[in-house]
Amino acid sequence: MTSIELRDVQKYFGSLQVIKDMNLKIEDGEFIVLLGQSGCGKTTTLRAIAGLETIDTGDILIDGKPVQDLKCSDRDIAMVFQSFSLYPHMTVFENIAFPLRATRMSKTDTDRRVREIAQVLRITDLLDKRPSALSGGDMQRVAIGRALVRRPKAMLMDEPIGALDAKLREEMRAEIKRLHLKQGSTTIYVTHDQIEAMSLADRIVIMHEGRLQQVGSPTEVYSRPANLFVAQFVGSPVMNVAPVEVESSGGSIHVGVGGASRFEFPATLLAQLDTADVRTNELALGVRPEGVLVSRDEKNGYFPVEAHLIEPLGSYDIVDLRVGDQILRARTRSGYIERAGARVYARIDPSQTHFFDTSSGDSLGIRL
């Protein structure tokens, strides 16, 4: 049983604050992904939990006990590094046995534990080899083995598959998921790759410039982004965000995008906007490409637009639509629009839209 908690954690590098007011509680057995761009403080947070960085103020608690003043060797936490950090002068066996030797475990027990973990990771036949003789994926397995063998309280992973090529990354992603399900250890995983985050996490923690932006399940952060940063960081292709004007006339609500097109929205929008109390010139609409509906034929509620650019991605196409002076990206089925420059019709699905206050960047929490 291991829970980890960060309370009001602040960390400075010189005058630069890299972690700002970090508060986070990680439950036992949870798989948490810290997601953010490089330099957002996610790796520093992880290293602070491991004990490789000191924090300036705040508490880090493992199972309720503050550990911020403990050395990393006393925190009973394992870590997998992006560079794998396998000791080049040791064989795979010695690498995996290394953390056990620190605990002065007997030779027979060490041997048994190493072989057990090697079997789980399917690297038994590599035990006598040196790290330099291994492929990237196998190095990664050994690194995970070295972290797991001690049965640590928690497992920290710093972009563990970032150095692998795309295909191997996908394989290892599945393997990490499988291992987590099997071992059930509390895991904190750092990545800048949102697909990795979405596919692995129980909860995703999104960070930006040292500040925690949103914590939630993959579905939550995808479908209910807390602010513009999260909205545009999570999801590929990125969410369309455009300044909008809201007009009401004769009981119906129209949302103007790009100065020209007016999309019809449910009347409840107005009341929700009133509650949100946002200035009209600071209102932005966000909609994911799948929320922009495209038709080749004229339909009720659809506006004529120009298909500006088509990106065929195999299973679907991403079409850039010119809507007034804005570009909205829409997701269509593969080959639906045959050529760029064609005149098509578009509508925004109100149930898939988000409204943001551009001055603060926060979502207004409007659901239609």
Considering only residues 98, 302, 316, 336, which one is a binding residue for other proteins as defined by CB under 8 A?
98
The token pair at 352 is 């898939």
Q: What are residue 9's DSSP bridge partners?
A: 22
CB of 324 to other proteins, least distance (A): 50
CA distances (Å), origin 338, targets 48, 302, 319, 327: 53, 19, 10, 19
- Residue 13 touching other proteins (CB under 8 A): no
Of 271, 291, 281, which Cα lies nearest the Cα of 353? Answer: 291
Q: Are strands 31-35 and 186-191 parallel, antiparallel or unpaired?
A: parallel
Binding segment toward other proteins, per CB under 8 A, in 48-56, 202-210, 236-244, 300-308? 48-56
Site size with other proteins, rule: CB under 8 A? 23
Considering only residues 73, 119, 135, 268, which one is a binding residue for other proteins as defined by CB under 8 A?
73
Nearer to other proteins, 85 or 199 (CB): 85
Q: Which residues contact 271 (CB under 8 A, 6 or more apart)?
A: none
Q: Where are the alpha helices (DSSP H) in the chain?
A: 42-50, 92-102, 107-121, 136-148, 166-183, 194-200, 218-223, 228-233, 268-276
Q: Round to whole Å and give the CA distance between 180 and 198.
A: 15
Nearer to other proteins, 52 or 327 (CB): 52
Q: Round to whole Å and give the CA distance between 91 and 352.
A: 54
Cis peptide bond prior to 225, omega within 30° of 0: no
Considering only residues 15, 16, 64, 88, which one is a binding residue for other proteins as defined by CB under 8 A?
88
- Residue 71 touching other proteins (CB under 8 A): yes
- Residue 270 touching other proteins (CB under 8 A): no
Q: Are the beta carbons of 21 and 211 closer than 8 angstroms?
A: yes
Nearer to other proteins, 47 or 203 (CB): 47
CB of 227 to other proteins, least distance (A): 34
Considering only residues 12, 81, 302, 336, which one is a binding residue for other proteins as defined by CB under 8 A?
81
- Residue 89 touching other proteins (CB under 8 A): yes
Nearer to other proteins, 114 or 294 (CB): 114
- Residue 42 touching other proteins (CB under 8 A): no
- Residue 38 touching other proteins (CB under 8 A): no
List binders of other proteins among 135-164 (CB under 8 A). Answer: 146, 150, 156
- Residue 72 touching other proteins (CB under 8 A): yes
Where do we find the tokens 């992603």?
173
Binding segment toward other proteins, per CB under 8 A, in 66-74, 108-116, 302-310, 323-331? 66-74
- Residue 102 touching other proteins (CB under 8 A): yes
Q: Round to whole Å and give the CA distance between 111 and 122.
A: 16
Q: Round to whole Å and give the CA distance between 243 and 232.
A: 15
Considering only residues 54, 66, 69, 87, which one is a binding residue for other proteins as defined by CB under 8 A?
87
- Residue 55 touching other proteins (CB under 8 A): no
- Residue 77 touching other proteins (CB under 8 A): yes
Q: Which residues contact 155 (CB under 8 A, 6 or more apart)?
A: 77, 78, 79, 80, 147, 148, 185, 186, 187, 188
Nearer to other proteins, 102 or 340 (CB): 102
Q: Round to whole Å and give the CA distance between 94 and 247.
A: 70
Q: Are strands 261-265 and 252-257 parallel, antiparallel or unpaired?
A: antiparallel
Binding segment toward other proteins, per CB under 8 A, in 85-93, 133-141, 199-207, 239-247? 85-93
Binding segment toward other proteins, per CB under 8 A, in 65-73, 169-177, 210-218, 261-269? 65-73
> In the complex, which residues of this chain contact other proteins (CB under 8 A)?
50-52, 71-73, 76-79, 81, 83, 85, 87-89, 98-99, 102-103, 146, 150, 156
